[in-house]
Structure 1
Amino acid sequence: MSPHRWEGVVIREARPEDDAAVGELLVESFITQYAQKLPEVRYDETRKRELRDVARRRAVGRVLVAELVGRVVGTVSLWPPGAPGSEAWIPGAADLRQLATAVDFHGQGLSGPLLDAAERLAREWSVPAICLHVRQGAVGVARMYERRGFVREPTGDLALPTLFLEAYVLRFPA
């Protein structure tokens, strides 16, 4: 991808007035993405409410957005070490969550600038690593993270009642 591919996109911290747009982007993106790639995955109303609760995520960590011509077109959340609800299994690590782009931007590389910003933020926090989880079977998502240097780490896997999440980590040099 050309470094100018996303000229005009601004990556910034989400503000309260972005919460509704970010929440709807997450619901639409996740439902669309998983409906195509993992048709057995269903999002119930409880999960949709969780995705729309952007204010809670902003209170716990940092929610970043990609904005293009005044429209929120992507998002990612990064939780600092020890944040309530963090799923990071490495002491002192950040927890990356809810990376998504607007449906009309899927597959166009917009996740790159969002992940660049999240990784910069993690380095500013001086964390040893970023931990994240990928739904088992989401092979394309896992490959995207692996291309960025994340490696599979089964010790961080999460077996939940309705799904299995595979753990990945990006370690930073000491």
Structure 2
Amino acid sequence: MSPGAKERVRVRDARPEDDAAIGELLIEAYTTQYAKKMPEVVYTEERKRDLRAVARKREVASVWVAELDGQVVGTVSLFPPGAPGSEAWMQDAADLRHLATAPSVHGQGLGAPLLDAAEEQARAWGVKAVCLHVRAGVMGVARMYMARGYVRAPEGDLRYPTVSLEAYVLPLSG
């Protein structure tokens, strides 16, 4: 990827024809990055099916893609308050989910325009905050969010048999 990719990226609403590419991008990004940093993380076939269920997600959430040179290279989703699948623990808060960029463009700042789109949507909805979860132990991802103003919110942590998720929140002024 050449320098200037961030300037050439186009963020747009996901369309049905993007669903397969988004699902595969999520799986590739997560398994590639976690394999490097946390080799113990395993994605089950059930989890992969959930990540590929983009059409279902688009029914209840806003989903965006980052497109570079005609290729989908990133994605993010934002669930409105009370939407099925939302893990927001605060009332009147949106839930940010499934931010990922293709491994070929990791580290080039392409997550920022996706986050800009999601945070802009949250402000347009008039919600009080954006909630999100980061897998425990993935400090680089947590630092990226904190640099944008998200703060640690332990009251929203989630503990599942196979994963622990740490909560973060971006307070919005309305």
Q: TM-score, normalising length from structure 1?
A: 0.96
Distance 1:74 1:84 in 2: 23
Partner of 1:68: 68
Distance 2:85 2:49 in 1: 16
Amino acid of the residue matched to residue 70 of structure 1? G
Contact 2:9 2:110 in 1 (8 A): no
Shift of 1:8: 2.4
Partner of 1:37: 37
Distance 2:84 2:77 in 1: 14
Distance 1:11 1:57 in 2: 18
Alignment RMSD: 1.0
Partner of 1:150: 150
Contact 2:5 2:108 in 1 (8 A): no
Amino acid of the residue matched to residue 60 of structure 1? V
Shift of 1:165: 0.4
Partner of 1:126: 126
Amino acid of the residue matched to residue 66 of structure 1? A
Shift of 1:23: 0.5
Distance 1:152 1:27 in 2: 26
Gaps of 5+ in 2: none
Q: Which runs of 4+ in 1 moved over 3 A?
A: none
Shift of 1:5: 5.3
- What aligned pairs does 1:45-84 form with structure 2 within 5 A after superposition? 45-84=45-84
Q: Count residues in correspondence.
A: 171
Distance 1:84 1:112 in 2: 26
